[in-house]
Amino acid sequence: MEHKQILAVSDSSIIFAYLALRCSNARFNHLAQCLKIENLLWEEFLQLTPETRIKRFPFLPGESYKKLTQALKQPEPIYQLLQRMQREGISVLLKDERRYPSRLREELGANAPPLLFYRGNPDCLERKQVAIVGTRRASPAGLNATKNYATLLAKQGINIISGGAQGIDLAAQLAALRAGGTTIMVIPQGLLTYRLPDILESVFDDKRATILSVFSPDEPFQKRYAVFRNSVVAAIADAVLVPETPLRSGTAYVIKHILAHQRPLFTIIYPEPVPESAIGNRTLLSFGAVALPPQISSADGTIKKFLQVRRK
The answer to whether the Cα torsion of 283, 254, 266, 148 is positive or negative is: negative
Amino acid 306: pLDDT: 64
What are the residue ranges spanned by the domains of the chain?
A: 3-87, 119-307
pLDDT at 3 over 60: no
Cα–Cα distance, 110 to 194 (Å, whole number): 27
Rounded mean pLDDT, 236-240 = 94
Query: What's residue 26's pLDDT?
Result: 97
What 3-state class would DSSP assign to 119? strand
φ and ψ at residue 154, rounded to 5 degrees? -60, -40
Tell me if 28 sits within 8 A of 14, measured CB to CB: no
Residue 108 clears pLDDT 90, i.e. is over it: yes
pLDDT of residue 278: 84
Q: Smallest Cα–Cα separation from 188: which of 160, 212, 159? A: 212
What pLDDT was estimated at residue 1? 46
Q: How many CB atoms lie within 10 A of CB 67?
A: 16
263-301 tens-digit pLDDT: 999 999 998 888 888 888 999 998 889 999 888 765 556
Asked if the model's pLDDT at residue 2 lies above 60, the reply is no
Q: Which of 297, 251, 263 is nearest to 152 (CA)?
A: 297
Q: Is the dihedral of CA 270, 272, 275, 277 positive or negative?
A: positive
Per-residue pLDDT, 307: 61
Q: Using DSSP, state whether 127 is helix, strand or coil.
A: coil
pLDDT at 310 over 90: no
Residue among 86, 159, 164, 170 nearest 121 (CA):
159
For residue 187, give the H/E element and its range: strand 183-187
Smallest Cα–Cα separation from 21: which of 56, 81, 66, 59? 66
Whether pTM exceeds 0.85 = yes
State pLDDT tens for residues 121-160. Answer: 999 999 999 999 999 999 999 999 999 999 999 998 999 9
**Least confident among 71-75, 256-260, 295-299:** 295-299
Residue 312 and residue 310: Cα distance in Å, rounded? 6
pLDDT tens by residue, 172-217: 999 999 999 999 999 999 999 999 999 998 899 999 999 999 999 9
Predicted confidence at residue 301, as pLDDT, reads 64
pLDDT confidence of residue 248:
72
What are residue 161's DSSP bridge partners? 131, 184
Domain 119-307 fold is: Rossmann fold (3.40.50)
Residue type, 62: G
**Burial label, 277 (beta-carbon count in 10 A; 0-12, 13-18, 19+):** buried
Closest CA to 116 of 194, 209, 232, 226: 232
Average pLDDT of span 75-83: 93
Whether 203 contacts 231, CB under 8 Å: no
